[in-house]
Amino acid sequence: MMERKRILSGMRPTGRLHLGNLHGALDNWIQLQTQYDCFFFVADWHALTTDYASPGQIRQNTWDMVLDWLSAGLDPNLATLFIQSDIKEHAELYLLLGMITPLPWLERNPTYKEQQQQLDQKDLATYGFLGYPVLQAADIIIYRAHGVPVGKDQLPHVELTREIARRFNFMYQCEVFPIPDALLTEVPVLPGLDGRKMSKSYGNCIYITDPEETIREKILKMVTDPQRVRRNDPGNPELSPVFAYHKLYSSPSEVMDIAEGCRTARIGCVDCKKRLITNLLARLRPIREKRIELERDADRVREIMEAGNAAARSQAAQTMEEVRQAIGLGKGYGGQSESAVTGM
Ligand code: TRP
């Protein structure tokens, strides 16, 4: 059998996942797990780079995210799922890569200044925040991944990873690290309940494990085409976030029927929403049922993650043996040295 190519990706632990996360990274990972040797992990150390002053949520968020991963269909029999902070080897490689990474590479990373400005209520003038991409490089190359599925916001980090891997191989005259490629995930921006991009910080999310009643209420309150004021006004479906959801959850023929019904004012917004509710709930029902099952069996989830951690750790440990050899650290001393006394 041909060996499958290895890919790796991580998510910062943001807690329960919303529909934007589902259609962005997660559905893509679920597809990939049947085609590649997949490593997927919770980047909880990366969460600390911005939340070091209030880390109280990180552990709970990690748990919630893992439950959502498994509920949505990530399969521990197909992919290796693990927690970054459980694999100490990442920290060792991060330290060693820090030795060879020129500061200007980090200072000119576009996400560095951008994020500092965006999150201006936090003090991000820290060593850890500047080093964010070095840790990410360690995450990726410690598993010798060939591909890194990410959204376009992460491309600068993958580029930096490539440069760091090349520099390591060159500096220590070895080929320990393959140079990984980004596998760009095309994600249509999913609008939130208010029509802006769905984002936890805007409070406009539908979570994949929201109770059915909550989802019903959220959709009924959702904004629609702002120009369709009265029931008899013809609407423009492309201006309504409700229609954007229909494209994801309704059959092609129903999508066409709704578009036509909206343009001719045959269908009102409430009817349109009711049809969406039916279809969305049908899509989320198996996920919610699986989540309930897993919540009742926390021990099993812990076992799954321990098994994933162990598999990841064993790969990471092998790489680190080679890394130490390449640099000339650790075991192997006393082998070739001459006697200081006899000179022989
Ligand atoms: N920086 C990524 C994000 O914010 C998360 C991440 C950490 C990651 N390490 C990674 C993604 C390694 C891919 C590979 O989304």
Model confidence over 153-174: pLDDT tens digits? 999 999 999 999 999 999 999 9
Phi, psi of 83 (to 5 degrees): -115, 125
Question: Of all protein residues, whose CA lies closest to atom 13 belonging to ligand 1?
Answer: 9
Q: Which residues have C-beta within 8 Å of that of residue 158, sequence separation ≥ 6?
A: 140, 148, 150, 180, 181, 182
Mean pLDDT, rounded, of the chain: 95
Closest approach atom of ligand 1 to CA 139:
12
Note the pLDDT of residue 335: 65
Note the pLDDT of residue 336: 66
Q: Tens digits of per-residue pLDDT, 253-289? A: 999 999 999 999 999 999 999 999 999 999 999 999 9
Q: List ligand 1's pocket residues with C-beta within 6 A.
A: 8-12, 43, 46, 136, 139-140, 148, 150, 154, 157
Q: Which pLDDT band, with edges at 50, 70 and 90, does 233 fall under?
A: very high
Q: Which DSSP symbol is given to 328?
A: T
Q: Tens digits of per-residue pLDDT, 78-93? A: 999 999 999 999 999 9
Question: Of all protein residues, whose CA lies closest to atom 8 belonging to ligand 1?
Answer: 10
The pLDDT of 338-342, averaged and rounded, is 80
Q: Which pLDDT band, with edges at 50, 70 and 90, does 306 fall under?
A: very high
Closest approach atom of ligand 1 to CA 11:
5
Note the pLDDT of residue 341: 85
Q: Tokens for 127?
A: 């060593």
- 181-184 and 37-42: which strand pairing? unpaired
User: Is the whole-model pTM more than 0.75?
Assistant: yes
Q: Please check whether residues 318 and 233 belong to one and the same domain.
A: no
Note the pLDDT of residue 339: 80
Distance (angstroms) between ligand 1 centre and the Cα of 12 equals 7
Q: Please check whether residues 50 and 85 belong to one and the same domain.
A: yes
Q: Please check whether residues 109 and 14 belong to one and the same domain.
A: yes
Q: Which pLDDT band, with edges at 50, 70 and 90, does 330 fall under?
A: confident
Strand runs (DSSP E) across 12-60, as ranges? Answer: 37-42
Distance (angstroms) between ligand 1 centre and the Cα of 140 equals 9
Among 244, 260, 137, 270, CA closest to 191: 244
Note the pLDDT of residue 1: 56
Cα distances from 167 to residues 72, 148, 161, 170, 177, in angstroms, run: 39, 19, 10, 5, 10
User: Which amino acid is residue 297, in one-letter code?
Assistant: D
Closest approach atom of ligand 1 to CA 145:
14
Domain assignment present for 306 = yes
**Enclosing domain of residue 247:** 210-294
CATH of the domain at 290: 1.10.240.10
User: Is the per-residue pLDDT at 187 higher than 70?
Assistant: yes
Note the pLDDT of residue 338: 74
Q: Please check whether residues 98 and 164 belong to one and the same domain.
A: yes
Domain assignment present for 168 = yes
Domain assignment present for 201 = no
Distance (angstroms) between ligand 1 centre and the Cα of 110 equals 15
Domain assignment present for 205 = no
Q: Please check whether residues 224 and 172 belong to one and the same domain.
A: no
Q: Please check whether residues 26 and 65 belong to one and the same domain.
A: yes
Asked if residues 19 and 190 have their Cβ atoms less than 8 Å apart, the reply is yes
Q: Name the domain count of the chain.
A: 2
Q: Which of 102-116, 169-183, 318-332 shows the highest mean pLDDT? A: 169-183
Domain assignment present for 110 = yes
Distance (angstroms) between ligand 1 centre and the Cα of 240 equals 32
Distance (angstroms) between ligand 1 centre and the Cα of 94 equals 14
Note the pLDDT of residue 2: 67
Q: Tens digits of per-residue pLDDT, 90-111? A: 999 999 999 999 999 999 999 8
Q: Please check whether residues 277 and 303 belong to one and the same domain.
A: no
Domain assignment present for 41 = yes
Q: Please check whether residues 281 and 305 belong to one and the same domain.
A: no
Closest approach atom of ligand 1 to CA 136:
9
Domain assignment present for 240 = yes
Q: Which pLDDT band, with edges at 50, 70 and 90, does 244 fall under?
A: very high
Q: Tens digits of per-residue pLDDT, 22-38? A: 998 999 999 999 999 99
Of the two residues 78 and 330, the one the predictor is more confident about is 78
